Amino acid sequence: MIDRNGKVYRVVSPMVVANARALLEAGRGLLDVETEGEARLDLASVREADSSALAVLFALRRAAAARGRTLSVIHPPPGLISLAGLYGVAESLPLA
């Protein structure tokens, strides 16, 4: 689901409703491993994303903030950016 390389967490599975809970749990677990600084979520390998991906991203951002950390998203797929624009939350995405 999510691979860790230092402070970069690379999502390696589709970000769709069927995976949303597992992605959220995996992301929260990785945020607990590294306890300070910025975490970067790399979406370069994500080939499929639906609106649940936005929910996961915002939940992970809240989880990072609760741990005193920041979360940024790198290499978001164009479809996810388009969905964020459609829902009016593009400005709120933590894009790096």
Per-residue pLDDT tens digits for 2-56: 999 888 999 999 999 999 999 999 999 998 887 678 899 999 999 999 999 999 9
Q: How far apart are CA 77 and CA 16, in angstroms?
A: 13
Q: How far apart are CA 36 and CA 23, in angstroms?
A: 21
Question: Is 77 exposed, middle or buried, given 0-12, 13-18 or 19+ CB atoms closer than 10 A?
Answer: middle
User: Domain 2-92 maps to which CATH number in 3.40.50.300, 1.10.1050.10, 3.30.750.24, 2.60.40.3620?
Assistant: 3.30.750.24
Distances (CA, A) of 50 to 11, 29, 82: 14, 22, 10
Per-residue pLDDT tens digits for 45-85: 999 999 999 999 999 999 999 999 999 999 999 999 999 99
